[in-house]
Amino acid sequence: MAHLLPGISAARIPTDRLAVNVLQLDGRAGIPVVLVHGNVSSGLFWQQLMLDLPEQYRPIAIDLRGFGDTDPEPVDATRGVADYADDVRATLAALQIEQAHLVGWSLGGGVVLQCLIDAPSTFASVTLVNPVSPFGFGGTSGPDGTPVEPVGLGSGGGTANPGFIAQLAAGDRSADSPLSPRNVLLAHYVKPPFVPDGLDTLVESMLSTRLGEDHYPGDFTVTDVWPGVLAGGRGVLNTISPNNLRLDDLSALAVKPPILWVRGGDDVIVSDTSLYDFARLGELGVVPGWPGPQAYPVQPMVSQTRAVLEEYAAAGGAYREVEIAGTGHSPFLEKPAEFLAALTATLDSAG
């Protein structure tokens, strides 16, 4: 593959669910570290981190279904992110990996939490990188994730920007439109004016996203209640709608591996003031008609994650929160040395 860095190879791994594209380091053995990417991306985002990991670790970057070179099987969002999590676990089984460390970014953070819930003894540690809130994306309030009524309002497939979808569909590799994948990455995936190495490869990764109701963004229904859309049951964005996703009951797990939570201090995607939250856009006047904080409050995404992890710790688990200042949604790209230090400290201590 033209977009692979030297020393990294790709292979499509047959599993009992689908064929999954996996990136690995040539000749690297050691303790498996499984890397799960976020929305509108692929395993290509992890390449530099893979090369930077110490030799005792074996990095494995997985393309989720409908991204990269993994089979574009439809996504049943009524299961939350379980389709993705089941694919990850099936891939580990096909690779004959019995235990691994998990790293999940954004949407992938939700996926690795689902993996942890489903098979906690399988994972030595879990690292969350700017993860989706355990209560979903959009349409909840407070640290306990109280849903806005009706549940799923302002979340799911109807929340994606149609202009951005059009640029993805057109395969736009330019910087001509503010909604081109290149410009969205530079404006929101990272904190401006940072420009990541291998930008062209990252754009190709974004363009590998399959589009439609079964993939990105997914289906939705319209409603007369502001902001006018309700989450559906198919496709990517509906997997993280509050009516489909519940990842908050980590405290009940019988086995509690350590959790590292790394977040960019200036993330505008997953934030207590997210620019992708309809309520925040309404509060700013960008989306007219906002009914106010009583009817539709801004979602405190970071506070919700912290509340769930505090409950995990109170129940006998352990977590560490690391904020990397001056970075956006992708601290592993923006300040790789700081990110690697936090990650390897967790990997080394977990054993």
Long-range pairs, 21-24, Cβ under 8 A, ≥24: 21/62, 21/63, 21/68, 21/69, 21/70, 22/60, 22/61, 22/62, 22/63, 22/91, 22/95, 23/47, 23/50, 23/59, 23/60, 23/61, 24/58, 24/59, 24/60, 24/61
Over the stretch 12-41, which tens digit does the pLDDT of each residue have?
A: 999 999 999 999 999 999 999 999 999 999
Question: How much is the pTM?
Answer: 0.98
Given this model, what pLDDT does residue 39 score?
98
Question: Is 284 domain-assigned?
Answer: yes
Overall number of domains in the chain? 1
- Counting as low any pLDDT under 70, the low residues of the chain are 1
Rounded distance between C-alpha atoms, residue 36 and residue 21, angstroms: 12
Asked if the structure places residue 145 within a domain, the reply is yes
Q: Tell me whether residue 169 is in a domain.
A: no
Instruction: Specify if 279 maps to a domain.
Output: yes
Q: Look at residue 218 and tell me if it is in a domain.
A: no
Percentage of the chain surpassing pLDDT 90? 99
Instruction: Examine residue 272 and state whether it is found in any structural domain, yes or no.
Output: yes
**The pLDDT value given to residue 35:** 99
Domain assignment of residue 271, yes or no: yes
Q: What is the pLDDT of residues 236-285, one digit of tens each?
A: 999 999 999 989 989 999 999 999 999 999 999 999 999 999 999 999 99
pLDDT for res 1: 54
Tell me the CATH number at 96: 3.40.50.1820
260 in any annotated domain: yes
For residue 312, the model assigns a pLDDT of 98
Give the structural domain span for 56.
8-153+238-350
